[in-house]
Structure formats: C-alpha cells, structure tokens
Chains A and B, each alone.
Chain A
Amino acid sequence: VDISPDLDNSKDDGAAAPHDQGTPTVAELSSEIAKLKHEALVAQDTIAGLRAELVTLQDNYIALRDADIGKAYARIDLLEDEREARLHELRVEVKLHGERMEVMRNEIARVKESNTWKVGSVLIKPISKLTGRMTP
C-alpha cells in the first residue's frame, strides 16, 4: 500500500475552491485522503500483528507438539505404571489383611470353645448380675 504523502495536508484551501452541490471540496478530499492513509497505516500494523501472532502460535504448537505433549504422555505412562504398582501393593495388602483377620477370627472362636473360657464365664456371671455388667 503506497501511503507516501503526495498532498500538503497543512494547507486548507477548501474555502476558496468551487463547491457545487454534492461535489466535495479540495479540503474535504484532502481530509478524506488523510483519513484513508491513516487507516492504511493502521491496517499495515494489524497485518504485521496478525503475522506475528501466527508465527507465535506456530512456534507454540511446535513446542507443545515436540516437547510438552511428548513429556505429558511420557508422564502419563509413568503415572499409570505407578498406579498399577500401587494397586498391586494394595491388593496384596488387602489379601494379607483378610488372612490376618481370618486367623484372628479363628483364634477368637478357638478361645471361646476352650474350657478355661467356659469355666471363667460361669464364675463371672453371678458377679455380673450383681454389678449389672454383661458377661463376656
């Protein structure tokens, strides 16, 4: 866009120019040209800015594609491995805990079946009645 100054905008000779109905004066034309030149300059800036934005977006895309996304996927893989390992540990832990609970339940049942427990319960019952406490 050629916006080099070819009119002297500082002169306002429109008052002396003939002004037919509907025909713009020289001053009006000069003013209009000045506005258009200004708009063209602003448009040049807008184009330069959009070009810059495009380059920046492309750079960001490439950087993300080549680095961040790759790193993110690698991180996801690592985290998934870590999650699986942790789940496995938890399953083992739950299983062991269940086995320990089973052993304890069996132990309690075995104790309750023992003579010592039965004799003890008989002895404690009258006292419990007196004190209002429940027997084991």
Chain B
Amino acid sequence: VTQPFFSIVTPVYNTPLDVLAATIQSVTSQAWPSWELLLIDDVSPDSAVRDALAEAASHDSRIRVILREENGGISAASNDGIAAAEGEFMVLLDHDDLLAHGALAQVAGVLQKNPEVDYLYTDEDKIDEDGKRYDEFRKPDWSPERFRAQMYCGHLSVLRLALVREVGGFDSRYDGSQDHDLVLKVTEKARQVYHLPEVLYHWRAIATSTASSGNAKPYTWDAGVRAVQAHVDRVGIDATVTKGSWFGTYAIKRTFDPSHRVSVIIPTRGTGGFVHGESRVFLIEAVRSLLAHTEHKNLEIVVVADAETPQAVLDELAEVAGETLLLVPYTKPFNYSEKCNLGFLASTGDIVVLLNDDVEVIGDNFIEELCAPLAQDNVGMTGAYLVYENGSVQHAGHRYGERGYKHAFSDNNFGDPGPFCALMVDREVSGLTAACVALRREVYQEVGGLSEQLPLNFNDVDLSLKIRSAGYWLVWLNRVQLFHYESKTRVAIVHQWEVDIMRARWGVAERDSFAHE
C-alpha cells in the first residue's frame, strides 16, 4: 500500500441519492490509490439510501459500509467509522460534499515531505444546487487564537488517526461543534499543524445546510461555547468563553492579573486638531479616554514630550493623569523610535503599552483586554482595532506581501464582519501598528525595541517581524477598540533608504501567512 493511507469517514443520514452518488464519485475518482471510504448509515428512514450504499460498495472494494442499528447522531456515527478505520490518517467528508479532483494526492505529497504533521487543513469553497462554485475561503496559516474564536479550519481536515483515538474521538456532548472540539483536542497535542493553501473541498450549500446559512443549526453555537471553554480550561488559559458578536464566533475573555504594572508610553509634541466637531489637544483626550476605560490601578503613563510641547498642554496633562504621569523630555530631532525607546528605559512596568497621542479609547477594560493575552508565554505582542473618525477601518492587523506592507481589511467599515468574520474574532497577524500595542518588558528588550534606524516609517513593521522571528505570536484583538486620528496629524512619505533597510533585513514576502489579498 502506498503511504499515506487515508480513511475517509462519512456519516450518512437520509442523503438525496444523486447528492450521495456525487459525494462517493468525488472519492472514487481520486488518482491517489491508498484510501478506504467508510460510509456509516445512521439509520436513514429512506431505505433507498442503504441500497445505494450497498450498490456503491459492490463496485469498489475500498468502499466499506457500516449500518448502525440505532440512530446515534453525528459523533456516534463518526466514532463507528474511526473504530473501523485502518488508515494512518482520517479524512472528514460530509455526506453531501465533494472532494476536489486530486485532493488526496496533494495532501499525500505534503504528508510525505512533512512526517511530523498530525493535523492538516486546506482551503475550501461552496457549491450550490446547480453545481456552481462560490465563496472561496482562502484561510490563514495555523492560527491558534483564531481557532479558539472560530472553527475556521473546517474542510478539508486530515487528522492522524492514532492521535484521534488518543483524545477519544468525537464527543457527542458537543454535537453540532463536534469537529471543532476534536480538532482543538488534536491540535493541543499535535507536533505540527499544516495549512495547505489549495481549495480541495467543495461544501454543498442546500437549503438546510450550515454552508448556506450559519443560522441553520443554532444549537451548534451553544455546543461550540462549551467546547472552547473546555479547551481553554485544559490548556490553562484563565478565561471565560461566551458567544462572539457574530454567529459561530466566540469571545475569549481572559482574566488580567491586577498585580501587573503597566507602563503606557506616549510620544507627543502636544498638537491639537478638530475631530468629531470639536477642537481638542490629542494627547489630553487620549489619556483621558484611557483612564476612563480601564479599572486597572497599577498604571504608569510615560509621556515622551518634544521641547516644543506647549506648557499649557503639559499642565493640563498633569491634572488629567495625576500621579500616574512620568514625563520624559525629548530634545533631539524627531525620531519616533528613539522616543519610544527612551520612554521604555524610563518606565518601570513589567508590561509596556505603546500608544499614539492621536487615539481615543472606545472599548471598556482597555488595559485589561489588551494585556491579558500576554500571560501566554508564546504571545509576544498584542494590538488593537483602530478606526478612523469616519468609521472606516484603519488597523486590523498588517498584511505583508509582494505589494509591500499594508493594513489588512482597510476597505471595511467599523461594525462590518469582514471576510469570514476576520474583524469579529481575535486572531494571529503578521504585524501590528505601534499606534497601540502591548508587550512584556523582556520581549521589548530582547528584540531591541523600535529600531532607531527607522525614525519615521516601518519601525512597527520591523518590530513585528523581529518579535515573530524570535518565535512569538502577534495577536490582534477585536474588542480593544480605539479611534485613530492619524490623517489629522501626519502624511506618510516613504523614502527609498527606509525600503532598503527593510528589504535587507526581511526580504520580500511572497504571501501573507494570515490575511490573503
């Protein structure tokens, strides 16, 4: 038998016969020869379904039919398939969906080259009742935070069977989100998770399927909350899981240890402007909104002020910030990176927040929500959801590719779900704007802070890439929300020497790992 050998597990229940035939045919037409198709009938009321299964098995010895004696639901039926499976890997195929032509061969190629892969997923699209394909989902590379917040991996999912058995297979307590539960358990133990960026699965959208309407099976959301809560409990994340702001998404509300000392570093020159119909000094409103949206007490606000900052602004700042204020004078020519670094060196917190002076905090528990994920050692930096005054998205994570360094999803408006709910879930990103980020002190120090070779542009891109290359995740947080009045204060002019520094350090990315163009 050519390795890897796939056990394709397909629970069947009253499937329309033509649809079932197409599903089976999508397997039998695969060029890759090493597979078995386990069709588990969960007591379909229509006896013609069982006849069709028997007929299919009579044509190909690799098709095996299991007839359950009583209806047990999706998990029980799938577990019967797992028990009977003889392959090295389990491939999940729903009874009305289609494997793409050549799917198994492509997956096999990856598994042969990467023997430590325990879980593999691919991109997918949907297929309507007329056979037309649409809604292509180009997924991010493995994103554990996003996976907690959303079962984005979906289909095609390929799992090492030994690991599936080790975690106990499907758990019927989570029926409706049983696949999310299983993949959470498998990835907790997986040596390597692999994203194969090819559309290898066609999800059939019929009137009652989840593919055609997320609300078709509302009970799945409750089951998902319980599955994700069980996962965070297993891995030791101190958090409460609730339904997210969009169907099928989850909010992971972490507890933030109040003993952390948080230093918020704000470079400024005390400028003002006209926003939301009123004149304001940006720095003052940034600090005021920050203090109004956090309950965290162990706080230090480190303002790094240019010599030209008006004394009246500093006086008002002292009133607003009170004892939390630490003022650091800056007398050199403008260098944003150096200002942040001097603020860092003067600060005393074990967590550092970099904050632009032209922001206004919107969301509650700002410090708590922004800093709590840093309790995980492998999270190097967290960042916020920034919107312009007109409500369009300014920052929801960076996207790095052949077209350069961009803000992802900037064609959306605040409140939009974004493609596949990208704006409604916490998730890993390639980079974060330093307009609002949080890091542990030792991480800032480890990577040398912001590069002073880049005084104006790309210093946050460089910081993001340094932190990622040191082995940490960057996590964008959808509930940490601020206005960013960037266009009011700055027009970006990029110099060739800045591009040259970035290219020397980081080359040119071919594709973004987390946000496709």
Contacts and interface: CB of A to CB of B under 8 A. Distances in A.
Interface of A: 1, 3-5, 9-10, 34, 37-38, 41-49, 51-53, 55-56, 59-60
B451 A49 contact: yes
Report the 8 A-B pairs with minimum CB-CB distance, sorted nearest first. Answer: A45-B448, A44-B448, A52-B505, A56-B507, A45-B451, A48-B466, A48-B448, A48-B447
A4 to B, nearest CB: 7
Nearest to B450: A45
Contacts of A9: 345-346
25 contacts: A4-B445, A5-B347, A10-B326, A38-B341, A38-B345, A41-B344, A41-B345, A41-B445, A41-B448, A42-B341, A44-B446, A44-B447, A44-B448, A45-B449, A45-B452, A47-B448, A48-B466, A49-B448, A49-B451, A49-B466, A52-B469, A56-B504, A56-B505, A56-B506, A60-B507
A56 B466 CA distance: 13
Contact-residue bracket for chain B? 20 to 34
B329 to A, nearest CB: 10
A20 B507 CA distance: 54
B348 interface: yes
Nearest to A49: B505
Nearest to B327: A10
A44 B75 CA distance: 52
A119 B470 CA distance: 102
B465 interface: yes
A50 B441 CA distance: 22
B508 to A, nearest CB: 9
A59 B507 contact: yes
Interface in B296-351: 326-328, 341-342, 344-348
Interface centre among A43, A45, A52 (most CB of B within 10 A): A45
Given A5-B347, A10-B346, A42 B452 contact: yes
Nearest to A46: B448
A37 B345 contact: yes
B25 interface: no
Contacts of A47: 448
A45 B338 CA distance: 12
Contacts of B447: 44-45, 48
B453 interface: yes
Nearest to A9: B346
Interface string B369-385: 00000000000000000
Contacts of A37: 345
A43 B506 contact: no
Among A41, A44, A59, max chain B CB count under 10 A is at A41
Contacts, number: 71
A4 B443 CA distance: 12
Contacts of A52: 465-466, 469, 505-506
A5 B345 contact: yes
A56 B507 CA distance: 6
Contacts of A44: 445-449
A43 B449 CA distance: 10
Contacts of B448: 41-49
Nearest to A50: B505
A3 to B, nearest CB: 6
A48 B444 CA distance: 12
A5 B507 contact: no
Given A49-B453, A49-B466, 17 more contacts: A4-B441, A4-B445, A5-B345, A10-B327, A37-B345, A38-B341, A41-B449, A42-B448, A44-B448, A45-B447, A45-B451, A45-B466, A46-B448, A48-B447, A49-B451, A49-B462, A53-B504
A130 B268 CA distance: 105
A68 to B, nearest CB: 14
A48 B348 CA distance: 24
Contacts of B449: 41, 44-45
Interface in B392-448: 441, 445-448
A47 B448 CA distance: 8
- Residue among B447, B462, B505 having the largest count of chain A Cβ atoms under 10 Å: B505
Contacts of B450: 45
Contacts of A53: 504-505
A103 B494 CA distance: 71
Contacts of B451: 45, 49
Nearest to B470: A48
A1 B449 CA distance: 13
Interface in B443-500: 445-453, 462, 465-466, 469-470
A3 B342 CA distance: 12
Contacts of A4: 441, 445
Interface string B232-255: 000000000000000000000000
A84 to B, nearest CB: 37
A6 to B, nearest CB: 10
A41 B448 CA distance: 5
Given A41-B448, A59-B507, A5 B348 contact: yes
A3 B326 CA distance: 19
Contacts of B504: 53, 56
Nearest to B346: A9
A59 B503 CA distance: 13
A53 B506 CA distance: 7
